[in-house]
Amino acid sequence: MEYRSLILAAGKGTRMKSDLPKVLHPLLGRPVVNYILQTVAQLGPEKIYLVIGHQAELVQSALEKVQLPVKPDFVLQREQLGTGHAVMQAKELLQDFSGILLVLPGDAPLISAATLRGLLDYHQSGGYSATILTTVVDVPTGYGRIVRDSAGDVVGIVEEKDASDQERLIKEINSSIYCFDTQLLLACLGEITADNKQGEYYLTDVIKILRQKDYQVGAYLTSDPTEVMGINTRQELAQAGKILWRRKADELMSAGVTILDPDTAYIHPEAQVGPDTIIYPAVVVAEDVVIGSGCQVGPFAYLRPGTRLADGVKVGDFVEIKNSVVGHGSKVPHHSYIGDAVIGSGVNIGAGTITCNYDGQKKSRTVISDGAFIGSNTNLVAPVTVGESAYIAAGSTITKDIPDGALGVARSRQVNKENWVAARKKS
């Protein structure tokens, strides 16, 4: 059956205490709402509606920059009167649509396409009027609770603020992700009221209304509560980042990467790491980074976008690399900054080497050819090229190209003043 998707992203996100709309807060460098958009787009719905309201223009322009397989249609909710009211804003767009509407909150970035597919299948094969994606959590605080009757059938959802003490004990929660028969949803939305503690039009009230009309409501229970977590606070934003890093670490370990401390491996989901690479503690790997196989990275290394490490590269402690290629078997073992550089294979970069790639206006490239040896504490003032198998004396500030096989020395000659200490005492 045909289905469309509607994502709710009009809210302010009061609990974030921010000038930035909640759905634009960066999670591992990308707006929170991008995640669910990307996941939903993967499923290939006929259309995606995105309800925006609070700082709508800002949200819309932020999302226009993002590459998405299916572009969302924006729906404006001028006043944010609740999740039910938000869906109502798409009424005209949906009035001729008889398929399924998959409704999701913009603030749930961790949901997987597989779970959404499971939900859609469950909804269709069960013939339900609505199906709620639910999960069971230890601490249900803040979520709507799933109320079931003695037969175990869902009878409604009660929001935390409206719940009785008894209902607050329920640990099965509403993820805010649902499948609806679109036309039944529209009919029921016409009947909801704002008669609750928050004075809002709750989407959740549709469930109760459907049941009162004797329609069947399904609940598709997912076992992984992290998938449905909502980002409402800065704490939850941090927690979601941790989960994404952890998922990435697990994925890499399963693919043959050694990670000494997965809790401090901050590897972006889009980064690539080859097998038999060892990641030491406290390593940050940004997106658009490719690490070959058999490498060593860290501890305390920072690989920024555009970094490409060939196989067998060693990047040691307190090293930052940005927009640079490091060739096969080369070593950058300690305390270096490598930016906008092309480093060949078999190169050794001494401790404290800096590529001076920025003159305050533009960035310039450093080229270090195969087999070169860069002495410790070298400054490479770009643009500059170091020839094949060339050497640089420690402590040099290199401003001119060095030919193949040459030794570059660019530091003042040492002077030793004999008996200097004794002479000073006398005077």
Residues serving a catalytic function are: 334
Phi and psi at residue 140, in whole multiples of 5°?
Answer: -85, 5
Dist. CA 276–CA 278, nearest whole Å:
6
Of 220 and 266, nearer to ligand UD1 (C-beta) is: 220
Among 3, 4, 6, 10, binds ligand UD1 (CB under 6 A): 10
Dist. CA 265–CA 239, nearest whole Å:
15
- Asked if 86 interacts with ligand UD1 (CB under 6 A), we say yes
Which two structure tokens, joined as six digits, stand for 217? 């409501």
Contact by Cβ (8 Å): 411, 396: yes
Dist. CA 383–CA 403, nearest whole Å:
14
DSSP label of 51 = E
Phi and psi at residue 58, in whole multiples of 5°?
Answer: -65, -45
Which residues lie near Ca ion (CB under 5 A)?
Answer: 107, 230, 232
- Asked if 202 interacts with ligand UD1 (CB under 6 A), we say yes
Minimal distance, residue 116 CB to ligand UD1, in Å: 15
Of 5 and 396, nearer to Ca ion (C-beta) is: 5
Residue number closest to ligand UD1, CB atom? 144
Question: What angle separates helix 32-43 from helix 56-64, to the nearest 10 degrees?
Answer: 60
Minimal distance, residue 230 CB to Ca ion, in Å: 3
Among 38, 55, 80, 377, binds ligand UD1 (CB under 6 A): 80
Return the residues of window 216-245 that contact ligand UD1 according to CB under 6 A: 230, 232
Using alpha carbons, select from 227, 234, 225, 176 the residue that is nearest to residue 27.
234
Q: Which run of H or E residues covers position 100?
A: strand 100-105
Return the residues of window 238-277 that contact ligand UD1 according to CB under 6 A: none
Query: Tell me, what amino acid is at 155?
Result: V
Among 31, 45, 72, 82, binds ligand UD1 (CB under 6 A): 82
Of 8 and 289, nearer to ligand UD1 (C-beta) is: 8
- Asked if 210 interacts with ligand UD1 (CB under 6 A), we say no
Among 36, 51, 147, 313, binds ligand UD1 (CB under 6 A): 51
Return the residues of window 102-141 that contact ligand UD1 according to CB under 6 A: 105-107
CB half-sphere exposure, 346, CA atoms < 13 A:
8
* Contacting residues toward ligand UD1, per CB under 6 A: 8-11, 51, 53, 77, 80-83, 85-86, 105-107, 143-144, 157, 159, 173-176, 202-204, 230, 232
